[in-house]
Amino acid sequence: MKATSTSSDLSNLPVSEMAESLVGSEIIKLAGEIKARIAQGESIYNLTIGDFNPEIFPIPEELLEGILAKYRAQHTNYPAANGMESLRVAVSDFMRKRQGLSYSPDEILIAGGARPLIYAAYQALVDPEDIVVFPVPSWNNNHYTHLSRGKARLIMTGPETHFMPNAELLKDALDGARMLALCSPLNPTGTVFSKEQLSGICELVLNINTARLAKNEKPLYLLFDQIYWQLTHGDTQHFDPVSLLPELRPFTIYIDGISKAFAATGVRVGWAMGPEKIMNKMKSILGHVGAWSPKAEQLACAEYLEMDDAVDTYLADIKTRVMNRLNGFYQGFQDLKRDGYPVDAIAPQAAIYLTAQLHLVGMKTQEGGILEDVAAVTDYVLREAGLAIVPFYAFGAERSSTWYRISVGTAQESDAHEVCSRLRTALEKLS
């Protein structure tokens, strides 16, 4: 080391290549900037974060009471490494009753939310340089691929397929791939796979694996994140790979949990389901990370998931209230579109998200400036309408994509009306 090194040199010593090149979440960054503006007194509707405001969407009362009771009963030591047995049994029952999926408690792994399970699935299945295929926009697959030192192969999707991939889009992309990461209902779009779309992909994956196994090659794994599946709206139906094609079971890992359906993002209970060997490997990986779900939460969640009536009542209520908000924004955007403004939205199907379009690049502001790109449009609606939303490029779509995610987990039902009227005023000022 040179004797001239300063303390600032020493604060920026190299770390691993993986960590050096890791990028933070674009959404969390954007949300941070918005919080700072709100703190300075700006009136902003912050619809950027895929989370709930607990004052508007509290967790189920029975779950809350259960967690408090379990802590009072001193359930404060390490949980079982693969999750408390009562919870794995409850999840097994829950998934059989509600989704018709039959996984034994030994094929279920519990962790502190869905994220560690996604991380562990990547670590368990993807070697450095392995190819991971995922559609964009989608949530965080780029980061998990980076963490596992794999290579991302992105599949661009558009409004014509509701931003979902299909066999046609995927068929040339799966060559030599180790994993296909899918999500439905999808974050950021709030859209779902149709039966035809997912069936086509399932057939494709099965054909690939039949050919690979005949040649003694490693299979293509299917990671299926269905964390929002219970929040389907109207007559939307959720489809999943193994129900559609049971032969896919040896290659499929489900990711699920209570974070979204029960507005319990801070409670931290998630589960994965899949072949026992893979669940065991993921358990070992997460054991070293220590990413368990707290024991009290697990025990309370086990009891709650077995309370059929309470669960039904809670789900019916949250779905109605989320749907009212999504519909409010959807209608507001349709009204603006009908009145000739260059905006659009896709009818909401599921989750807490609406896909909306602002086609404003190239338009002129009253001050005479031009909205040069999507970032300028995002900034304009934030400044002029106090509307904070996330452009799809934050989810891996092209920088020029004019589509946005509107998240309603922190919105009041009346917000849609106010936001759309502010947006109308901001749009009127453009030429």
Ligand X SMILES: Cc1ncc(COP(=O)(O)O)c(C=O)c1O
Applying CB under 6 A, does 267 fall inside the site for ligand X? no
Pairing of strands 221-225, 252-257: parallel
Please select the residue that binds ligand X; options are 145, 265, 378, 401, rule is CB under 6 A.
Answer: 265
Residue 238 binding ligand X, by CB under 6 A? no
How many residues touch ligand X (CB under 6 A)?
Answer: 13
Residue 262 C-beta: closest distance to ligand X, Å: 11
- Binding to ligand X (CB under 6 A): which residues in 29-68? 50
Nearest-angstrom CA–CA distance, 315 and 240: 20
Which residue is closest to ligand X by CB? 113
List the one residue from 46, 82, 99, 259 that touches ligand X (CB under 6 A): 259
Pick 113 or 386: Cβ nearer ligand X: 113
Nearest Cα to Cα of residue 38 among 23, 49, 51? 49
Does 189 engage in binding with ligand X (CB under 6 A)?
no
**Which amino acid does the sequence have at 320?**
T
Nearer to ligand X, 270 or 328 (CB): 270
* CB nearer ligand X, residue 257 or residue 332: 257
Q: Is 361 left (phi over 0), alpha (psi -120 to 50) or beta?
A: beta
The β-bridge relationship of strands 403-407 and 353-358 is: antiparallel
Cβ proximity to ligand X, 141 vs 209, nearer residue: 141
The only residue of 141, 145, 157, 187 in contact with ligand X, by rule CB under 6 A: 187
Q: How far is the CB of 113 from ligand X (least distance, A)?
A: 3
> Please, what's the b/e burial string for 290-323 (b: 16 or more CB within 10 A of its CB; e: otherwise)?
ebbbbbbbbbbbbbbbebeeebeebbeebbeebb
Q: Residues 270, 298: contact at Cβ < 8 Å?
A: no
Separation between Cα atoms, residue 157 and residue 192, nearest integer Å: 13
Shortest distance (Å) from residue 331 CB to ligand X: 25
Class of residue 245 by CB neighbours under 10 A (exposed 0-12, middle 13-18, buried 19+): middle
Shorter beta-carbon distance to ligand X: residue 183 or 381: 183
Contact code string over 85-124 relative to ligand X, x by CB under 6 A: ----------------------------xxx---------
Cα distance between the two ends of the chain: 59
Cα distances (angstroms) measured from residue 14 to each of 6, 17, 65: 15, 8, 47
User: Should residue 327 be labelled a site residue for ligand X when binding is judged by CB under 6 A?
Assistant: no
Query: At closest approach, how far in Å is the CB of 276 from ligand X?
Result: 22
Per-residue contact track with ligand X, 371 to 410, x per CB under 6 A?
----------------------------------------
Would you put residue 300 in left (φ > 0), alpha (ψ -120 to 50) or beta? alpha
The verdict on 184 binding ligand X (CB under 6 A) reads: no
Q: Which is nearer to ligand X, 229 or 380 (CB)?
A: 229
Could you tell me which residues come within 8 angstroms of residue 124 by beta carbon, excluding any fewer than 6 positions away?
A: 278, 281, 282, 285
User: Nearest approach, Cβ of 286 to ligand X (angstroms)?
Assistant: 13
Does position 256 interact with ligand X (CB under 6 A)? The reply is no
Instruction: Answer yes or no whether residue 200 interacts with ligand X by CB under 6 A.
Output: no
Between 121 and 358, whose beta carbon lies closer to ligand X? 121
Q: With beta carbons less than 8 A apart as the criterion, state whether 243 and 275 touch.
A: no
For residues 155 and 183, which CB has a smaller minimum distance to ligand X in the complex?
Answer: 183
- For residues 389 and 48, the answer to whether their CB atoms sit within 8 Å is yes
Using CB under 6 A as the binding rule, whether residue 135 contacts ligand X is answered as no
Nearer to ligand X, 353 or 380 (CB): 353
Q: What single-letter DSSP state applies at residue 232?
A: B
Question: Does residue 286 belong to the site contacting ligand X (CB under 6 A)?
Answer: no
Q: By CB under 6 A, tell whether 190 contacts ligand X.
A: no
Q: Could you give the C-alpha distances from 255 to 116, 195, 222, 329, 404, in angstroms and in order? A: 10, 19, 11, 29, 25
Return the number of the residue (82 or 265) whose C-beta is nearest ligand X.
265
* Interface pick for ligand X out of 227, 291, 322, 381 (rule CB under 6 A): 227
Contacting residue, 119, 139, 251, 341, with ligand X by CB under 6 A: 139
> Whose Cβ is closer to ligand X: residue 242's or residue 351's?
351
Tell me the H-state helices in 100-184: 114-125, 141-147, 167-170
Is residue 279 within 8 A of residue 80, CB to CB? The reply is: no
Which residues are near ligand X by CB under 6 A?
50, 113-115, 139, 183, 187, 225, 227, 257, 259, 265, 270
